Structure 1
Amino acid sequence: MNKKISLLTLGAALIAVPVLAAPGGGDRNATQTRAEAQTKAAEMFAKLDANKDGKLDAADRVAKRAERQAKMFAKLDADGNGSISKAEWDQHGADRAAKRGEKRAAADEARQGKRHGMRGHHGKRGGRHGMMMMGKADTDGDKAISQAEFQTAALARFDAADANKDGQVTPEERKAQREAWKAKAGEWRAKRGAAPSAPASE
């Protein structure tokens, strides 16, 4: 089970590589060069490599969890005395309730407008698509992704989107790539949902 979770985590990390995201702070009308995609991939790898050992594996997942726990404790310990009082805990609960309300309101508003993001046909980020990407990126089969493997996978995604092979990905090419992914996901769902054919009667 832990190995499967680790693979999902690494797959999700690959999906998060922003090589097909709009550059320039999210400008959807901007064109991205291959050099920019390579730089963004390097930045993402550095961010995901929590223990700075030059690879993405289960150890990074553990390190990230510990980092999140430390941040959460520091956030709860408002007065910084190394312990969490009942008042601090109650305040945390009130803050969480308020944020949940804000998120529900934002979600309702988003449903009324255009949906954004990488979720949708993938469900939770990662999933089956993440597993497949993990398998493709982990070329040496060691259940870890090196920086070189990460870069290679990121640039492969860029090259796949660069339809005219001019070293740039335009907003139109990004859109075409997203549509192609949606089509493949639809085909996979259709195959998965198709009932097995009944045996022929003699």
Structure 2
Amino acid sequence: MRKLTLSIAAATLATTGLAGVAYAAPGMMSKGGDTTRAEAAAKADAMFAKMDVNGDGKIDQADRAAKKARMFDRMDADKSGSVSKEEFAAAGKKKGGPDGEMRGERRSKHGDRMGKRGHRGGGMAMMKMADTNKDGAISKAEFQTAALKRFDAADANKDGTVTAAERKAAHDAMKAKWQQMRAQKQAQKPAAPATN
């Protein structure tokens, strides 16, 4: 039986790391009804606590490694120190996806794994923006500030509540921005040489 080593499994699981769950713009707000600024702040605190896996008061690479280790331990059903292809597939099916894909995971048209909302790297970019002092870690204050900044941007009429319509408008604006950035990045790539 072919076994995956810890490092291979960890690399495979990187797509479900902290960045993927981190920062959907109005994602810290209620999916259905209105959300107040205080509710958004409370959800940001809860999300920070969840992402601060090792409880040291900041989100950094150590938390990402701890999350991967926990995921590996859950997948290693027989506790052998390695994850077999069967264990990996079983973990994916348990999460609701076929063939070892995690629930909510998508693939791009090129087959790349993408986050639940279909972004590659969007969460990581937002994490970097939240790290205002550029120390490689996000403190609770930085996390809260970034979350409330996104809330305030979504609160179009500045009444302290984000409605479903405002949330959709913010989501659409973010989607358009990501598409524009992707198009600019594609335009900057050098053209492939013509083949005869």
SS across alignment from 1:164: coil
Deviation at 1:189, TM superposition (A): 2.5
Q: Does 1:154 align with 2:150?
A: no
Is the radius of gyration larger for structure 1 or structure 2?
A: 1
- Quote the sequence identity (%): 48
Deviation at 1:184, TM superposition (A): 1.1
Counterpart of 2:182 (choices 171, 179, 189) is 189
What TM-score do the two structures reach when normalised by structure 1? 0.64
Counterpart of 1:32 (choices 26, 32, 35) is 35
What TM-score do the two structures reach when normalised by structure 2? 0.66
In structure 2, what residue type is equivalent to 1:41?
A
1:15 aligned partner: 23
Q: Does 1:96 align with 2:90?
A: yes
Q: Does 1:137 align with 2:130?
A: yes
Q: Does 1:60 align with 2:63?
A: yes
SS across alignment from 1:51: coil
1:164 aligned partner: 157
Aligned residues: 160
SS across alignment from 1:194: helix
TM alignment of 1:40-119, pairs within 5 A: 40-73=43-76, 76-77=77-78, 92=87, 96=90, 99=93, 103-104=97-98, 118-119=116-117
Identify if the C-alpha distance between structure 1 residues 180 and 68 changes in structure 2 by more than 3 Å, giving closer, same or farther. Answer: same
- The answer to whether the 8 A contact 2:17-2:68 is kept is no
Deviation at 1:183, TM superposition (A): 1.4
Larger relative strand fraction: 2
In structure 1, what residue type is equivalent to 2:175?
K
Supply the distance in 1 between the matched residues of 2:182 and 2:85 (Cα, whole angstroms).
Answer: 44
Identify if the C-alpha distance between structure 1 residues 68 and 16 changes in structure 2 by more than 3 Å, giving closer, same or farther. Answer: farther
5+ residue gaps, structure 1, are 1-5, 78-82, 111-116, 198-202
Deviation at 1:192, TM superposition (A): 2.3
Identify the structure with bigger relative contact order (alpha carbons < 8 Å, sequence gap 6+).
1
Q: Deviations over 1:129-171 (max 9, x none)?
A: 3343223211111100001100111111101100000000000
Larger relative helix fraction: 1
- The answer to whether the 8 A contact 1:22-1:171 is kept is no
User: Aligned Cα RMSD in Å?
Assistant: 3.7
Supply the distance in 2 between the matched residues of 1:43 and 1:57 (Cα, whole angstroms).
Answer: 17
Identify if the C-alpha distance between structure 1 residues 195 and 90 changes in structure 2 by more than 3 Å, giving closer, same or farther. Answer: closer
Deviation at 1:188, TM superposition (A): 1.7
- The answer to whether the 8 A contact 1:20-1:174 is kept is no
5+ residue gaps, structure 2, are 1-13, 107-114, 191-196
